[in-house]
Structure 1
Amino acid sequence: MRCIFLLCLLVSAGFSATLKGDKIERKIVAEKALHQARNPIDDVIRDALELVRQLMLNGTDSTPVLDPFFIEYLLVNFESQDADLLLQVDNTWVTHMAEFIIENISTNMVRLTMELALSLPNFNIDGHYAMDGMIMNLFPLYGSGNYYIHVFDVSLGGGAGLSVGVPPQIRDLHLDFTFQSLEVKFENLLGGGSLETVIETAINALAKDVVDAVWAIINEPFCQLIEDTINQALANMGGEGTDSPALADSKEVGNANAYLDEVLAELRQVLYQTPGVDPKTLPDAYTEISGGHAAIYNGWLIGLSSIHRSADATLDYAGRFITFNGSAGYTNMQAGYRVQVEVWGTGPDAEAFALIRSVDFFFSFKIDAITGAVTVNDFNIYNIGQIDIEINGLAPFDWAFESIAELIIKTIKDDLSQTISTVILELLRQVVEGNPPPPPPAAEILKIAF
């Protein structure tokens, strides 16, 4: 990937430059660098998608809020070999749609297409339902009340046509929708006899139909908002104050948000594929308690591959070197331990669960524009938030809960600090080294001493 960083071409065998007095002609260097820059349309589209996120959450006078998205009424008629059900849902809210992750943007100026891939960790559908029908053509199944459907691991992939004019525009955007799993709850569901397996299968299949119907409603305004926002951004290309991040003021706050999002998207894949990272084994620990001791063992942690940007990022170009500052972190990671308590020779085996509400860290990298080498300037874990502890099976030694909880929290915090400051930071550095930032503005390129 480093070869896409323009200035690295200076040391590659295929680079041709004009020499004057044993010096590389700077004009040629600048032209080469700008020519090899990442597609500026991709950068504009990425920035536009970040604006889409804000518009979904806040809306404008002419743009309705899409997160949360309200559906007043929806009727789903479900038929299968096991069930015949009619479901009516009212006052439904769809939330977390704006938390999409930009996985890929690719415009092809030959085929005149734009490919777009987004993902969602999850989104929620909540509302009121009324259901009536039959299971196995024999048993009634009915009910009314609140319901929810939580949808996990969503992929949104598709694309649009691209017209190359002044300005360029996209058209006919479409996004295909898939997901991996659901969590479903219909309150006050009655009937069906003892056919629990059949009921569960039918309800899950019905929930999938509801999700598909909800997406069919959201799809059009969502795609239209994306298309309109991207086209407006493309129309502004080159206008005052509308430069893409690649040519933005090098000290503008947030000028590297899109780049950091791109880096973290790749880092998530690296972390997911690295053995021993997610899930991660936590170390055993031991503490004295009144009359005995408590030990925690078989610890695990899930969520290190869910890293995301947690604050604005910046790129500061200064001659040969680029300073890349950013913040990243985690929310709602989960952990667990087996717990052994022994007091006067006896005690229970219990199980503990932990919810780590938030973790955030700051990093600063120094990037050599010529060699592509990345070194760490600064690093600081500035937040390890609340950790909630639940221990099951501790009775009658509940009085030891506080000591055990403190031991678990301390062990998790120490291990997280060590892991983030070594493994995560190093993998992040490697990803940045393999995915260089946008090239500096032309004025900065000409300042580089070769």
Structure 2
Amino acid sequence: MLAFAVICLLPLLDAAAVATVDQSSDHSPKGWTDEYIDLILTFVQAVIKDQGLDPADLPELKVSFSDTVLGITWHGSAKVYNGRFSGLSTIHRAGNTDFTLDGTTLNLIANLGLNDCSAHYEAQAEFMGITVGASATVKISSVDVFFDAEMIIAPGSSLQIARFEITNIGHIDINVSGLGPLDWILELLVEGIGNSIRGWLADIIEGPLRDILQDILDQYVPEIPSKLF
């Protein structure tokens, strides 16, 4: 499916390539990498949606807890499931790119980001024979990602990702509703959800999203403006 999506996009990529390196335009060589990354991310966004990653399935999370009542320790558990995460396709350039051209090696770095990400889970808690159903909603203000790639300027070469990793996850707001008499486990459940989402984000961005980005970079090799030589 990914290969099909990339092939379908190639005619558009070719047309955009001409616009990107048009030396008769008003664009200076300094801004060509901004345009290149913006173009690449446009197609990354499309493939993310095509691959069913926005919204994406979240893993189930289960936490255990206990409380002592009248000298007896009781055990219970809570879980969130059927989780869906929205926002991966908002990936975009955040600020200017930077590049160096050292002989025959091009190095390009950029700060990328995700905005207004959210998630929703169904939830359930059980303690002392009491079982309640609940739900959890999550909002993440921002996710910052660092991109670093380089390319040997030679036939058949393309930009190869050296680093593609999360540098910061903004405020995570978690709201769990419906726990009723078991709302005292809220803190434990919220902490578990936050940690689970942080780990999941790192895995999916530095795994599947990195692979999607590399596939697009392999298909679309930047044409370096002649003014730089």
Fold similarity call, TM over 0.5:
yes
Spell out, residue by residue over 1:36-74, the C-alpha distance to the aligned partner (whole angstroms, 9 max, x if none): x73468688xxxxxxxxxxxxxxxxxxxxxxxxxxxxxx
In structure 1, which of residues 352, 359, 365 is the aligned counterpart of residue 143 of structure 2? 359
Corresponding residue number in structure 1 for 2:65: 289
* Residue 189 of structure 2 corresponds to residue 404 of structure 1: yes
Is the 8 Å Cα contact of residues 255 and 314 (structure 1) preserved in structure 2?
Answer: no
* Residue 133 of structure 2 corresponds to residue 349 of structure 1: yes
Where does structure 2 lack aligned partners over 5 or more consecutive residues? 1-9, 67-74
Please give the alpha-carbon distance, in whole angstroms, between the structure 2 residues aligned to 1:335 and 1:403.
Answer: 18
Corresponding residue number in structure 2 for 1:335: 119
Which structure 2 residues correspond to residues 46-445 of structure 1 after superposition, within 5 A?
A: 237=26, 244-245=27-28, 247-248=29-30, 256-275=33-52, 277-290=53-66, 291-370=75-154, 371-441=156-226, 444=229
Where does structure 1 lack aligned partners over 5 or more consecutive residues? 6-36, 45-233, 238-243, 249-253, 445-450
Distance 1:399-1:333 versus aligned 2 partners, 3 A rule: same
Is the 8 Å Cα contact of residues 255 and 315 (structure 1) preserved in structure 2?
Answer: no
Deviation at 1:331, TM superposition (A): 1.1
As a proportion of its length, which structure holds more helix? 2
Deviation at 1:431, TM superposition (A): 1.5
Deviation at 1:368, TM superposition (A): 2.9
Deviation at 1:329, TM superposition (A): 1.4
Q: TM-score, normalised by structure 1?
A: 0.43
Distance 1:417-1:321 versus aligned 2 partners, 3 A rule: same
Corresponding residue number in structure 2 for 1:219: none
SS at match of 2:131: coil
- The count of aligned residue pairs is 208
Corresponding residue number in structure 1 for 2:6: none
SS at match of 1:347: strand
Greater relative contact order, per chain length (Cα 8 Å cut-off, separation 6+): 2
Is the 8 Å Cα contact of residues 332 and 355 (structure 1) preserved in structure 2?
Answer: yes
Distance 1:440-1:319 versus aligned 2 partners, 3 A rule: farther
Please give the alpha-carbon distance, in whole angstroms, between the structure 2 residues aligned to 1:353 and 1:43.
Answer: 49
Is the 8 Å Cα contact of residues 165 and 205 (structure 2) preserved in structure 1?
Answer: no
Q: Identity of counterpart residues, as a percentage?
A: 29
Deviation at 1:271, TM superposition (A): 0.8
Please give the alpha-carbon distance, in whole angstroms, between the structure 1 residues aligned to 2:219 and 2:23.
Answer: 18
RMSD value, Cα = 2.5
Spell out, residue by residue over 1:252-297, the C-alpha distance to the aligned partner (whole angstroms, 9 max, x if none): xx6522221111111111111113x111110011112233111111
Deviation at 1:303, TM superposition (A): 1.3
Please give the alpha-carbon distance, in whole angstroms, between the structure 2 residues aligned to 1:347 and 1:287.
Answer: 14
Please give the alpha-carbon distance, in whole angstroms, between the structure 1 residues aligned to 2:20 and 2:164.
Answer: 31
Q: TM-score, normalised by structure 2?
A: 0.81
Spell out, residue by residue over 1:318-347, the C-alpha distance to the aligned partner (whole angstroms, 9 max, x if none): 232211111111111110111111111222
